[in-house]
Amino acid sequence: MKTILKWGSQLISFSLFVLLIGMAFLVISTKASGDEPELFGYQLKTVLSGSMEPEFKTGSVIVVEPGGDMTRFQKGDIITFMENQDKLITHRVIDIVHTGGNIMYETKGDNNNAPDSTLVMSENVVAHYSGVTIPYLGYVGKFSQSKEGAALLLILPGVALLLYAGISIWQGLNQLEKGNRDTAREGDKDIPKNLL
């Protein structure tokens, strides 16, 4: 039983530590990039609308891979492109249009009734969807961009780790005190009663 408790305690400590490191990474990378974090050459993008449901839901984070030959995409691929200077969209390619030396993509959100109103030039494509989606993490990412959110996401795991450490120390002291009392009682049994 003690072994199970020891392993459980170590698992909780490790989990809290990983959570603290993960939240610190999320907050710092979001602040450093100015918007979406990047990891190992992949970017994390927050889904802000339901246009691609059920592929990915609003509030999810999708992993996209930027760069490469942006003329390589086929029908069915999901790409992230610049609609204008301030807006990125991630939709599915439904047709490829060759005009002169240019390649343009006709795109559509899976949940939309009609294709997008304008064709996407290959040079406006910034990334393609890697197939990885993390549901609801986008809400945490957006929250972490605020001052309050960043502070809270860094402080809460640290406080939880400190509280857990305090509880572990308290339990250890109680066990030590109990062991001392048991040792004292056993010592009392060895003393003859007429000397007590």
**Range 81-102 burial, b when 16+ CB lie within 10 A, else e:** beeeeeebbbbbbeebeeeeee
Which pair of tokens denotes residue 24?
Answer: 């610190």
Contact 38, 29 (CB under 8 A): yes
13, 15, 33, 49: the catalytic one is 49
Outline where the chain has alpha helix (H).
2-33, 137-144, 147-190
- Helices and strands per DSSP (H, E), number in the chain: 3, 8
Decide if 49 is catalytic: yes
**Hey, which residues are catalytic here?**
49
